[in-house]
Amino acid sequence: MAADPREAIAGLNWWHVMEVAPGVETPGSWDLRPTAELMPWPASLSGARCLDIGTMDGFWAFELERRGAAEVLAIDTAESDSAQVKWRPGPIPQGPPRGETFRVAADLLGSRAEYRDLNVYDLDPSEIGEFDVVVMGFVLQMLRDPLRGLEAVRTICRGHLILLDTVSRPLSPLPSPLARLDARRDGREFFVFNPPGMRKALELSGFEVEEMTRVFRDTYAPPREPVSFATRVMHKLGVRGSSVAARARRQF
């Protein structure tokens, strides 16, 4: 690894904005630091064993450590392994090996968090144990079977699940569907729930919702791809770019 943090992060495909050294930030598209202050965290993470699902570059894994977690496992799917990517429609995109940016950031931050290639559907307490806190950030919308994914999470969650995801908002005062399939009509996600739909999905999967945030706007840096006029309008109206976070406890 390069001694200079700027050299270490250069040339990598970053998703998250993270300060990995004083004054050195990764050039990602999503800055989740304001979102971290809105999350319905448990009263304390001190000594907790935690799991970060869909970690990408590791933002939530490192945030869990920063908040006192004693042990953090971070998982994501290996994009080069089509057998593991069970949710993705269409061809598997080619990109840098998943976990590379996580390891670079962990090294720079002095993190003890562990990264593992593992699909949410394959969570098994006999293999990875159980966790006091599980964070699942912007993963639910990417699952072909979101309830099956949540049920798998329940098997390894002995404490709280912190679920953060995009939610749909109606254009009119009329009630909106609990979930929309391909809500953005761009094939980039499966189901996008509205806030009552997110609560219902958690309840049907065996969780009791203890707290849900208000709907808030996502915080992101300039996107990597050109954004259409229609997309900009939907973001301005809050139809896109809106999120909710919930804290839930396993019922049984």
The pLDDT of residue 105 is 97
| Residues in contact with 98: Cβ distance below 8 Å, sequence separation at least 6, in sequence order | 56, 76, 77, 78, 79, 80, 117
N residues, the chain: 252
Residue 124 has pLDDT above 80, yes or no: yes
- Give mean pLDDT, residues 224-240: 55
Cα distance between the two ends of the chain: 45
Question: 3-state SS string over 180-247?
Answer: EECCCCCCCCCEEECHHHHHHHHHHCCEEEEEECCCEECCECCCCCCCCHHHHHHHHHCCCCEEEEEE
Q: Where do we find the tokens 């307490």?
A: 125
Task: Specify the range with the lowest mean pLDDT, choosing from 27-31, 73-77, 181-185, 240-244.
Answer: 181-185
Burial of 74 (0-12, 13-18, 19+ CB in 10 A): buried
- At the topology level, CATH places domain 5-250 in Rossmann fold (3.40.50)
Residue 229 has pLDDT above 70, yes or no: no
User: Which tokens hold the place of 247?
Assistant: 């804290």
User: In the structure, what pLDDT confidence band is assigned to residue 96 with cuts at 50, 70 and 90?
Assistant: low
User: Which tokens hold the place of 183?
Assistant: 């809500």
Return d(Cα 158, Cα 160) in angstroms, integer: 7
179-227 per-position pLDDT tens digit: 887 655 555 678 889 999 999 999 999 999 999 999 998 765 555 555 5
The reported pTM is: 0.86
Return d(Cα 104, Cα 9) in angstroms, integer: 7
The pLDDT of residue 80 is 46
Across 77-154, the runs of DSSP E, i.e. the strands, are 114-117, 131-137
Q: Any idea what DSSP says for residue 7?
A: H
User: Which tokens hold the place of 15?
Assistant: 């998703």
Return d(Cα 106, Cα 124) in angstroms, integer: 25
Return d(Cα 140, Cα 201) in angstroms, integer: 10
The pLDDT of residue 242 is 87
Mean pLDDT of the chain: 85
What are the beta bridge partners of residue 117? 76
User: In the structure, what pLDDT confidence band is assigned to residue 252 with cuts at 50, 70 and 90?
Assistant: confident
58-87 per-position pLDDT tens digit: 999 999 999 999 999 999 987 544 444 444
